[in-house]
Chain A
Amino acid sequence: KAGVTQTPRYLIKTRGQQVTLSCSPISGHRSVSWYQQTPGQGLQFLFEYFSETQRNKGNFPGRFSGRQFSNSRSEMNVSTLELGDSALYLCASSIRTGENTEAFFGQGTRLTVV
């Protein structure tokens, strides 16, 4: 069974640009969550999508947005990039049914803003 796939693995962007990151969850998983990981702030929750609906949202500015498609694949978009957006962006998928809460993480996308 394929794991969670995040693309691209590495990305370099310039301040002011926008970027789209992709996450393909494990087959059958309907929940996709996004996290930002930085040395200074640790792991911060961005948002969670379940069946194409945003179900939870963290404390990030509106420049950070996401969506989920009918096949559960998810994209995250960051507009008007700032230097502080440089981070490892992690995606996690889970079945999210009943008591099954285990989240499986992808390898992340390393975004560098210059």
Chain B
Amino acid sequence: AQTVTQSQPEMSVQEAETVTLSCTYDTSENNYYLFWYKQPPSRQMILVIRQEAYKQQNATENRFSVNFQKAAKSFSLKISDSQLGDTAMYFCAFMKRGPNAGKSTFGDGTTLTVKP
């Protein structure tokens, strides 16, 4: 079974600054995906960024980037130039790769507040 741990229940950052959210996971699988999702107060979960475990290059999506350390089973999210609209709960998630792999395991989430 897979587990995902987010050790920071809450974080805050000043607008325009950079913040890093931590995530570690445990799995015996070698092929998998890792995701960061954002859930704003409106509660609709939105995919922020995705990383394939077989790719060494860290994924980047505009102001969002990850630091993927496969050996250490670490997957942190860096948000640059934080904006007020980034205020939300962020979830790290793991999904096994394969034709029948449809289950995602989520961490407990990190509530991020961006302050003006």
Contact = CB atoms under 8 A, between A and B. Distances in A.
Classify the interface of chain A: helix, strand, loop or mixed.
strand
A95 to B, nearest CB: 12
Interface of B: 33, 37, 42-47, 50, 52, 91, 95, 97, 100-109
A105 B45 contact: yes
A63 interface: no
Interface string A74-114: 00000000000000101010101001011111111000000
Report the contact-size class of chain A (Cβ under 8 Å from the partner). 20 to 34
Contacts, number: 52
A42 interface: yes
Contacts of A90: 45
B106 A31 contact: no
A56 interface: yes
Given A33-B102, A48-B102, A96-B102, A42 B107 contact: yes
Given A92-B45, A101-B33, A102-B50, A55 B95 contact: no
B106 A42 contact: yes
A60 to B, nearest CB: 12
Contacts of B52: 99
A90 B103 CA distance: 13
A64 interface: no
Which 5 residue pairs are nearest across A and B when measured between Cβ atoms?
A48-B102, A105-B45, A43-B106, A56-B103, A42-B108
